[in-house]
Amino acid sequence: MIRKLSLLTFSSLLFAGFALAQAAEPAALPRSVAPADAKVYILSPANGATVESPFTVVFGLSGMGVAPAGIEFENAGHHHLLIDTDLPANLSLPLPADEQHVHFGKGQTEASITLPPGQHTLQLVLGDHLHIPFDPPVVSEKITVTVAP
């Protein structure tokens, strides 16, 4: 009976600890520092352009270099394309990887994008070797494109 009670108590404590860990905000990670003059921008398509899907997005970067994810170089990072979404609220965490947050961790400087017809927003964010935005953030202006039917 004591053994069953101990197992039940242990299981309850383990579950409670897991629930608390899930409810807590993840801890912030150290951010890499970006040069003050660093800029990232979308070279193509132009803001307001009408495109046919798939289309090519060309990334631009000045004041920093491009390096693959996982490899730490000073003043270098890799591109992340935000599609139809805003910047995450907490920029001290790695950027998510999903359909709206596309990672280019091999150091790509352009990409072929397929989107459904309609209006879409695109924005670039430069991430460090751990996919964490720089401090200060190196973020492009958000542009709008219309994908033709």
Domains of the chain by range and CATH? 39-147 (2.60.40.10)
Tell me 68's DSSP state: -
Distance, in Å, from the CA atom of 61 to the CA atom of 66, rounded to the nearest integer, reads 8
Contact between 61 and 126 (Cβ < 8 Å)? yes
Cα 50–chain centre separation: 25
Residue 27 has pLDDT above 80, yes or no: no
What is the model's pLDDT at position 18? 39
Predicted structure pTM score: 0.81
Q: Model confidence at 9, in pLDDT bands (50, 70, 90)?
A: very low
Number of H helices, E strands in the chain: 1, 9
What is the model's pLDDT at position 20? 40
Give which of 52, 42, 67 is closest to 113, Cα–Cα: 52
What is the model's pLDDT at position 22? 43
